[in-house]
């Protein structure tokens, strides 16, 4: 299996809205699952406007990535 692409963000601290162009560049029109603890209004608009399948998964930063989150993404990907 090929390695997954890595999204490179600006140096911290940065405005979370700046994640959108970086994610857009890496996804390049392909289906994308974006897992984040801070989906911004710009990110929500970006996801809604994409022609490619897009899943936004909001993570509670106090809990982290859970088995339920993993299953949600795997189920979504299996339906592509």
List pLDDT tens digits, range 8-66: 998 999 999 999 999 999 998 899 999 999 999 999 999 999 999 999 999 999 999 99
Q: d(Cα 64, Cα 59) in Å, to the nearest integer?
A: 6
Query: Is residue 7 in some structural domain?
Result: no
Please state at what angle helix 41-49 crosses helix 19-27, rounded to 10 degrees. Answer: 20
Query: Is residue 6 in some structural domain?
Result: no
pLDDT score recorded for residue 5:
80
pLDDT over threshold 90, residue 6: no
**Residue numbers of the domain that contains 42:** 31-78
Write down the H helix ranges in 1-80. Answer: 19-27, 41-49, 67-78
Query: Is residue 67 in some structural domain?
Result: yes
Query: Is residue 70 in some structural domain?
Result: yes
Tally the domains of the chain. Answer: 1
pLDDT score recorded for residue 4:
78
Query: Is residue 24 in some structural domain?
Result: no
Residue with tokens 């809604």, as numbered in its chain: 48
Percent of the chain with pLDDT over 90: 88
19: nearest Cα among 52, 51, 53, 56? 56
Query: Is residue 5 in some structural domain?
Result: no
What is the tens place of the pLDDT at every residue in 39-48? 999 999 999 9
């Amino acid at each position: 299996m090929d390695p997954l692409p890595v999204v490179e963000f600006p140096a911290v601290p940065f405005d979370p809205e700046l994640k959108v162009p970086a994610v857009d560049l890496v996804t390049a029109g392909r289906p994308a699952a974006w897992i984040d603890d801070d989906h911004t209004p710009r990110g929500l608009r970006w996801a809604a406007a994409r022609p490619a399948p897009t899943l936004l998964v909001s993570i509670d930063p106090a809990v982290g990535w859970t088995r339920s989150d993993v299953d949600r993404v795997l189920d979504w990907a299996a339906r592509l």
